[in-house]
Chain A
Amino acid sequence: MDIKILITWLIPLFPLSGWLLWGLFGKYFKGLSGYIASGFVGVSFILSVVLFFIVAYSHGFTDTLYPWVHAGIFKAGVSAVIDRLSVVMLVMVTGVSTLVHIYSIGYMEGEKGFSRYFSFLNLFVFSMIMLVISNNLLLLYVFWEAVGFCSYVLIGFWYEKKSASDAGKKAFIVNRIGDFGFAAGIFLLFATTKTLNYETVFTFIPSMPVYTTTAIALLLFAGAVGKSAQFPLHVWLPDAMEGPTPVSALIHAATMVTAGVYMIARFHIIFSYSPAASEVVLAVGTFTAFFAAFIALTQFDIKRIIAYSTISQLGYMFMAVGIGSYTAGIFHLISHAVFKGLLFLTAGSVMHGLSGELDLRKMGGLYSKMKTTAVTFIVGGLALSGIPPFSGFFSKDAILADIYNKGFYFAWAIGEITALMTAFYIFRLIFLAFFSESKLDPAKHVHESSKIMTVPMIILASLAVIIGFLGMPPFNESLFYGFLHTDFKNAAVFAPAVNNVPWYILSLISVLMGLSGIYAAYILYIKKTVSPEKIKSIFKPLYALSYNKVYIDEIYNFLIVKPMLVFFDFLWRVVDIKIIDGAVNGTASAFSFFSVKARKIQNGMLMSYILTLSIGAVALLFYYFIR
């Protein structure tokens, strides 16, 4: 067996075996399972790096492990596609996972169900890897749902909390709604092309009528909307913060939620051949970016703020893939994975330090108490708000510059405003948590987290500093672009560059946006020249809207969930029991009624018997003779 193929299949094998081990024999391992699990993921990280270089210096390849489902003309195997896109994703996924695993050892210390946690974390890594390398839509769909399942389990890790198990259920069901569209897309694709294998499908796309392509693309995008928590299916992600923080870092920031972006990049041919669909992607992305940032402005739960910022950053990525600059999208995906993972881990460390406190209003002045955490957090924050030289700057500007140059000015404007808001809310968080005077009760003993937690944070922070330079502007001469764009060369160019404003002007604007956001936060929360209360009172309705997350959950509840339940109850109590079953029992009672009547004939009176007999006789004679 060829070495690279061996490597390819070893990468998912390790987490899989990890899952089985902890799942079956978890209780024999106790704390050890954490280290071994991290080791497993680490190994597959190293392997993926090796694979990365193999691919970088040779070329991509595909391989089929075994034929999986063959029914009639339907053929799908367990097969992998290893090209530059997938290796990049692989390195990112396994890398972040490794760090999160290590971090979790400290974070989940002494948790009941420690092994269960790691088993499912391993299962998730396995599923994510498979999702990235899968070579046909069936396999993709399988692991598309599998990761959703993992997140369901991990969100509901503390299942005894109703809120937790609710959140898990919500995540799964909302994802299912998206997957419904995704599945429909796959059906349509199969109905038109009679195959689900990537290369074969892609060969069909250019010759396909554009409306079909659009339909397919939009249906697939529905799946992405669900998975990547875009509006209107974003509702599950904030609630998902009920899960352990490392889970949020890994699944709900770095990897799973970006699967939607990856999927679109993977199917760039389908999307690029349907401008309309891409328009929709762009629109949804833009709106979500703005909308989520707007909600994030006024939240007080630090994890929720970061969650909303994740949604908004994903919006950026969709903007990117929506205008056909897939490389930029992926680049932002990578850098975002790094700094958002960092932010979550640090937030987790804050929680850890405050023994589970999440409310900003009960924090403050933590800088002195937990320096490492604070510094790394600030690094993350700077990266998020796109201040050079942090990675966020390069990746976000690559996107915004592309958008401007391709002439989507409105989207660009929104993007810039969002950048401002982003900088504001993240620094609002930083200032309130770390710098403003302490509001937490002195009884609580605050402590810096243990090494095993801080080391991954530091690694990620340093990555957040350096990784950006891979995309050194001008972006389309950068290292990353050079490495990846070859995969997208077959994409149809539906949005050509209309004007060529040099990158530094645009970057300047966005940097200014970021800085002004930070400054606004500064004067509001440190200098206090303007009190937040005042702002609040000025924009009261807006504030209320933002604070209550635009009432989306409530709307869904009242417009969809409640009426449905009522309707279902009606179906059961009335249609099923009353009407259908009533008919069945009705016939039975009808028969018994007749029976009573019939036995009346048998009344025991001899005369009436004779009468019946002779009437019968007469009737027969009559019946015959009238005919």
Chain B
Amino acid sequence: MHNMPSIYGMNFLEKSMLGIIPETVIIIFAFFVLFLAFFEKLAKRNNSYYLSLIGIVFSILYVLMLAGRNISGFYGSFVFNGFDAFLFIAILFSGLFTVLMSKDYIENSGMPAPEYYSLILFGLSAMMFLVSSNNLIMVFLSLEFMSICAYILTGYIKDNTRSTEAALKYFVLGAFASAFLLFGSVFIYASTGRLNLYGIHSFLQNVSYLGVAGSGGSIGIKVYISAGLILFLIGLAFKMSLFPFHSWTPDAYDGAPTPVTNFMATGIKLAAFAIFLRIYSLIYDFNVMNFNDILWLLAVFSMTFGNIAALLSTNIKRLLAYSSIAQAGYILTGIIGGGFYGYSGTLFYLLSYIFMTAGAFSVVIIFENSNLISLDIKKYSGIGYKYPFIAASMSFFLLSFAGIPITSGFMGKFYVFSSAVKSGYNWLVIIALLNSAFAAFYYIKIIVKMYMPDKEPAAASSNSSVQGNIPEIAGGAIDEGIMITIIICLILTLFMGIFPQIFINFANNSAGFLWRI
């Protein structure tokens, strides 16, 4: 409650502006990139690509400058504190990766680059707004902003039926879900009369002091606010792609251009979880309603459904989509675990998650760019010998998904699960562990394909056995952007797996900001 006065007290515009500088930078660069589209000459080559990279880097620098500040601007509809700093960095990284990995892809797709990059930048800024927004209006607006960018990006590739269809589905479902979110906020507003999150917080606090919201009291408020929160949760759960609000995930991931898939899988998920975490931590203290057992159900269903569905899927993008549903379940475990420990665990997991996902998708893109290979996993057979480094890193990311030690995936899982055990959700953890046991199967299935082509090594001589069906990378050379992405992801995944302490410290700081509210 320490900064309550600063919320309702007078704020200076500069201070408010200071809070949103990173977003602003991104937006400005987005407009630059967009302007590039007007000049034929500039639109050629990769100006927009580099420009957006520069923008993101700048914004990261700004975030680092602001880190540690605690700003609340625009009459409390924004806050910027350690929590946001952490998530901004994460989101910007996911944007960075998305941009890095989309150079060749966009060229191959033959669509104009500037618009694409500007959309990504806009999406990024929207996510950052969403994270730092502290007001139901802002939440709704930035959510919609983000989603609209995502819709467009999903359907970005013209005359590609899959892309269009994905956009269609994503849009209809997304709008449907945000309608729920909206209606939820109606109820919340109606019951509390506040739109500012801190306001809601304080309201609930007072009510709970009066012993109303708890057991008994005026049923009206209790019912309204619970209904509102549930509807709100549904809206966010959609973005977090939790079962049963996941149904867009596989199709959208599948149809969308792969960099965009990566964007959705990392950025949007990150932002959604962040805002959910913020709201949840606000309402958690006083059990307005016992959220946890609903979340419990969602988590269990998500991970189980995701893993089981992924078990037999043959298209790698769909497989990753399903696995991301499962991962969402794991992340939710941390939130359920709750408390300082649980939240920092969740943040840690989110961070590690974006790195492994980005890595995996960039490997997928490499083979997609060389148009010889489809998304069918069968086509991956034997690439382990042709491209040792790429295959090795791919296996490493997959192992990280599976949660095998010395990868960040293990540390994250360990963190969130132990937090859940700490608050006594033993069955949840057992189920989650069993899940990750048989989830390992389909991750390993890909590794099997890459390294163990189904022919006797004795039969064919050393290398010719695996040369046969392997695609040549188009033009032989792999785009350096993607390689950079892979290397960064590899290093960070490994590093977070072995020496997680420094990242845990970051997560602790930001979680601390959550907690102090």
User: With A and B bound together, what is the CA distance between A627 and B291 in angstroms?
Assistant: 12
**A613 touching B247, Cβ below 8 Å:** yes
- What is the distance, in angstroms, from A400's C-beta to the closest C-beta of chain B? 72
Interface size on B, residues (CB 8 A): 35
Interface: A541 (CB within 8 A)? no
Q: With A604-B251, A624-B289 as given contacts, are A613 and B309 in contact (CB-CB < 8 Å)?
A: no
Residue of A nearest to B243 (CB): A616
Residues of B within 8 A of A571 (CB): none
Within 8 A of B (CB), among A596-622: 596, 598-599, 601-602, 604, 606, 608-610, 612-617, 619-621
A401-443: CB near B (< 8 Å → 1, else 0) gives 0000000000000000000000000000000000000000000
- What is the distance, in angstroms, from A590's C-beta to the closest C-beta of chain B? 10
Picked from B176, B294, B312, B441, the residue with its CB within 8 Å of the CB of A620 is B294
Within 8 A of A (CB), among B297-323: 297, 305, 308-313
Interface: A74 (CB within 8 A)? no
Q: With A606-B168, A613-B245 as given contacts, are A620 and B251 in contact (CB-CB < 8 Å)?
A: no
Residue from A608, A620, A627 with most neighbouring chain B CB atoms (10 Å): A620
Interface: A595 (CB within 8 A)? yes
Within 8 A of A (CB), among B163-177: 168-169, 172-173, 176-177
Residue of B nearest to A602 (CB): B250
Listed stretches B19-27, B57-65, B224-232; interface member: B224-232
**A591 touching B251, Cβ below 8 Å:** no
Interface: B443 (CB within 8 A)? no
Interface: B438 (CB within 8 A)? yes
**B294 touching A613, Cβ below 8 Å:** no
**B177 touching A613, Cβ below 8 Å:** yes
User: With A and B bound together, what is the CA distance between A606 and B251 in angstroms?
Assistant: 10
Residues of B within 8 A of A601 (CB): 247, 309
**A595 touching B312, Cβ below 8 Å:** yes
Residues of B within 8 A of A606 (CB): 168-169, 172-173
- What is the distance, in angstroms, from B155's C-beta to the closest C-beta of chain A? 14
Interface: B466 (CB within 8 A)? no
**A616 touching B309, Cβ below 8 Å:** no
- What is the distance, in angstroms, from A318's C-beta to the closest C-beta of chain B? 60
User: With A and B bound together, what is the CA distance between A598 and B168 in angstroms?
Assistant: 23
Interface: B331 (CB within 8 A)? no
**A596 touching B312, Cβ below 8 Å:** yes
- What is the distance, in angstroms, from B13's C-beta to the closest C-beta of chain A? 41
Residue from A608, A615, A616 with most neighbouring chain B CB atoms (10 Å): A616
**B230 touching A624, Cβ below 8 Å:** yes
User: With A and B bound together, what is the CA distance between A612 and B176 in angstroms?
Assistant: 12
**A616 touching B234, Cβ below 8 Å:** yes
Interface: B211 (CB within 8 A)? no
**A594 touching B234, Cβ below 8 Å:** no
User: With A and B bound together, what is the CA distance between A624 and B292 in angstroms?
Assistant: 11
Interface: B417 (CB within 8 A)? no
User: With A and B bound together, what is the CA distance between A599 and B309 in angstroms?
Assistant: 6
Interface: A623 (CB within 8 A)? yes
User: With A and B bound together, what is the CA distance between A594 and B313 in angstroms?
Assistant: 12
Interface: B388 (CB within 8 A)? no
Q: With A620-B230, A620-B234 as given contacts, are A598 and B251 in contact (CB-CB < 8 Å)?
A: no
- What is the distance, in angstroms, from B91's C-beta to the closest C-beta of chain A? 26
**A602 touching B308, Cβ below 8 Å:** no
- What is the distance, in angstroms, from A611's C-beta to the closest C-beta of chain B? 9
User: With A and B bound together, what is the CA distance between A604 and B173 in angstroms?
Assistant: 13
**A595 touching B177, Cβ below 8 Å:** no
Residues of B within 8 A of A621 (CB): 227, 230-231
User: With A and B bound together, what is the CA distance between A615 and B231 in angstroms?
Assistant: 13
**B177 touching A623, Cβ below 8 Å:** no
B132-167: CB near A (< 8 Å → 1, else 0) gives 000000000000000000000000000000000000
User: With A and B bound together, what is the CA distance between A625 and B223 in angstroms?
Assistant: 8
B241-259: CB near A (< 8 Å → 1, else 0) gives 0011101101100000000
Residues of B within 8 A of A592 (CB): 311-312
Residues of B within 8 A of A614 (CB): 176
Interface: B341 (CB within 8 A)? no
Q: With A592-B312, A595-B311 as given contacts, are A624 and B234 in contact (CB-CB < 8 Å)?
A: no
Picked from A591, A598, A610, A615, the residue with its CB within 8 Å of the CB of B438 is A591
- What is the distance, in angstroms, from A594's C-beta to the closest C-beta of chain B? 5
B187-199: CB near A (< 8 Å → 1, else 0) gives 0000000000000
Within 8 A of A (CB), among B233-292: 233-234, 238, 243-245, 247-248, 250-251, 289-290
Residue of A nearest to B289 (CB): A624
Interface: B180 (CB within 8 A)? yes
Residues of A within 8 A of B230 (CB): 620-621, 624
User: With A and B bound together, what is the CA distance between A620 and B143 in angstroms?
Assistant: 22
Residues of B within 8 A of A627 (CB): 290
Residues of B within 8 A of A620 (CB): 230, 233-234, 294
Residue from A601, A613, A627 with most neighbouring chain B CB atoms (10 Å): A613
Residues of A within 8 A of B248 (CB): 609
**B244 touching A612, Cβ below 8 Å:** yes
Residues of A within 8 A of B169 (CB): 606, 609
Residue of B nearest to A620 (CB): B230
Q: With A591-B308, A620-B230, A621-B227 as given contacts, are A609 and B173 in contact (CB-CB < 8 Å)?
A: yes
Residues of A within 8 A of B290 (CB): 627
**B172 touching A610, Cβ below 8 Å:** yes
Within 8 A of A (CB), among B114-137: none
Residue of B nearest to A594 (CB): B308
User: With A and B bound together, what is the CA distance between A216 and B295 in angstroms?
Assistant: 67
Residues of A within 8 A of B231 (CB): 617, 621
User: With A and B bound together, what is the CA distance between A271 and B55 in angstroms?
Assistant: 98
Residues of B within 8 A of A595 (CB): 308-312
**A617 touching B172, Cβ below 8 Å:** no
Picked from A599, A602, A604, A624, the residue with its CB within 8 Å of the CB of B294 is A624
User: With A and B bound together, what is the CA distance between A612 and B177 in angstroms?
Assistant: 12
User: With A and B bound together, what is the CA distance between A96 and B430 in angstroms?
Assistant: 72
User: With A and B bound together, what is the CA distance between A613 and B308 in angstroms?
Assistant: 19
Residues of A within 8 A of B168 (CB): 606
Residue of A nearest to B297 (CB): A623
Residues of A within 8 A of B223 (CB): 625
- What is the distance, in angstroms, from A618's C-beta to the closest C-beta of chain B? 10
List 15 additional contacts besides A609-B169, A613-B247, A620-B234; criterion CB under 8 Å.
Answer: A591-B308, A591-B438, A592-B311, A592-B312, A598-B309, A599-B309, A606-B172, A610-B173, A612-B247, A617-B234, A621-B227, A621-B230, A623-B297, A624-B230, A624-B294
Give the 4 A-B CB pairs with smallest separation, nearest first: A616-B244, A609-B247, A595-B311, A598-B309
A-B contact pairs, 28 of them (CB 8 A): A588-B441, A591-B311, A594-B311, A595-B309, A595-B311, A598-B308, A599-B309, A599-B313, A602-B250, A608-B247, A609-B173, A609-B247, A613-B173, A613-B176, A613-B238, A613-B247, A616-B244, A616-B245, A617-B180, A619-B244, A620-B234, A620-B294, A621-B227, A621-B230, A623-B294, A624-B289, A624-B294, A625-B223
Interface residues of B (CB under 8 A from A): 168-169, 172-173, 176-177, 180, 223, 226-227, 230-231, 233-234, 238, 243-245, 247-248, 250-251, 289-290, 294, 297, 305, 308-313, 438, 441
Interface residues of A (CB under 8 A from B): 588, 591-592, 594-596, 598-599, 601-602, 604, 606, 608-610, 612-617, 619-621, 623-625, 627
